């Protein structure tokens, strides 16, 4: 009977491993996705900042053209001034020139604001590029490993499952069924160890008589509360 208990304990060890591998199987693709999403997000951020900066550049250039147009107009008026005969015309043209100069000065202060804005964009582009480089470095460092690990997991689980099934062959069929049912329905735990007089699976207090029997390893005990296979822990398996 002790050998059956030992086999069950070994099977549980393998199922513990399978459980961990299954957790990884759920976890690793999430890690991979998050790494890929970070690169995507950083790329999108940089693109957006660069697009906005380009828009600003367009505004700056059209402003420059507007200023240039006004300046050329002023030059034309200035040459016309020399040909003017009447005082009235002279005044009118002069006030036109003054008006254009005011306009230029307003446009120039807008131009300065836009230059400041452009400087902000410039440092944002630098930050975005840094963030993208960091995300890509992380991708380069982790993606290959993660993909390889994800690819290997199924095979590893299969290997452990085969080893467990191989062990199970020496057990009576009904015991295998009970074991398998508990792995499925009791949180991947069919074997619970006596933990200082309590069931390691549910914490239920083990009666003194049973505790003695657990030490003897003469029969298979089930926890009176959770139904798991109860045994004293083996020092060696
Ligand atoms: Zn229990």
pLDDT band at 160 (very low <50, low <70, confident <90, very high): very high
Residue 24, token pair as written in the block: 């990884």
Domains of the chain, first to last: 2-170 (1.10.287.1490), 172-237 (no CATH)
Q: Quote the ligand 1 centre to 7 CA distance (angstroms).
A: 19
Taking residues 83-108, report their average pLDDT.
Answer: 93
pLDDT band at 172 (very low <50, low <70, confident <90, very high): very high
Q: Quote the ligand 1 centre to 189 CA distance (angstroms).
A: 10
Q: Quote the ligand 1 centre to 207 CA distance (angstroms).
A: 12
* Per-residue pLDDT reduced to its tens digit, 55-89: 999 999 999 999 999 999 999 999 998 888 899 98
Taking residues 39-48, report their average pLDDT.
Answer: 98
pLDDT at residue number 23 = 95
Taking residues 146-162, report their average pLDDT.
Answer: 96
Taking residues 207-234, report their average pLDDT.
Answer: 96
For residue 34, pLDDT beyond 90: yes
Q: Quote the ligand 1 centre to 1 CA distance (angstroms).
A: 21
Taking residues 129-139, report their average pLDDT.
Answer: 98
pLDDT at residue number 127 = 98
Q: Quote the ligand 1 centre to 176 CA distance (angstroms).
A: 18
pLDDT at residue number 85 = 85
What is the rounded CA–CA span in Å between residue 191 and residue 182?
Answer: 9
Taking residues 211-234, report their average pLDDT.
Answer: 96
Nearest to 232 by CA among 173, 224, 219: 219
Burial class for 11, CB neighbours closer than 10 Å (0-12, 13-18, 19+): buried
Q: Quote the ligand 1 centre to 25 CA distance (angstroms).
A: 28
Q: Quote the ligand 1 centre to 200 CA distance (angstroms).
A: 7
pLDDT at residue number 84 = 85
Q: Quote the ligand 1 centre to 229 CA distance (angstroms).
A: 8
Taking residues 160-172, report their average pLDDT.
Answer: 97
Q: Quote the ligand 1 centre to 233 CA distance (angstroms).
A: 14
Nearest to 161 by CA among 136, 142, 135, 180: 180
pLDDT at residue number 237 = 82
Residue 5, token pair as written in the block: 């208990």
Q: What is the mean pLDDT of the chain?
A: 96
């Amino acid at each position: 009977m002790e050998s059956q208990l030992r086999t069950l304990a070994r099977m549980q060890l393998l199922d513990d491993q399978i459980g961990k591998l299954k957790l990884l199987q759920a976890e690793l693709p999430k890690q991979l996705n998050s790494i890929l999403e970070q690169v995507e997000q950083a790329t999108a951020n940089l693109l957006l900042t660069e697009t906005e900066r380009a828009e600003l550049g367009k505004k700056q250039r059209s402003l420059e053209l507007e200023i240039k147009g006004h300046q050329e107009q002023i030059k034309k008026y200035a040459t016309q001034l020399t040909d003017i005969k009447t005082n009235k015309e002279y005044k009118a043209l002069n006030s036109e020139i003054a008006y254009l100069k005011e306009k230029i000065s307003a446009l120039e202060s807008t131009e300065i604001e836009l230059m400041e804005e452009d400087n902000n964009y410039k440092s944002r582009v630098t930050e975005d590029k840094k963030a993208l480089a960091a995300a890509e470095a992380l991708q380069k460092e982790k993606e290959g490993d993660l993909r390889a690990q994800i690819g290997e997991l199924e095979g590893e689980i299969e290997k452990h499952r085969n080893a467990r099934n191989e062990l199970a062959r020496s057990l009576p069929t009904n015991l295998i069924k009970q074991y398998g049912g508990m792995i499925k329905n009791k949180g991947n735990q069919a074997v619970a160890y006596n933990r200082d007089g309590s069931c390691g699976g549910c914490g239920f207090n083990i009666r003194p008589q049973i505790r003695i029997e657990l030490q003897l390893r003469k029969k298979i005990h089930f926890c009176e509360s959770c139904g798991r296979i109860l045994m004293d822990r083996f020092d060696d398996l």
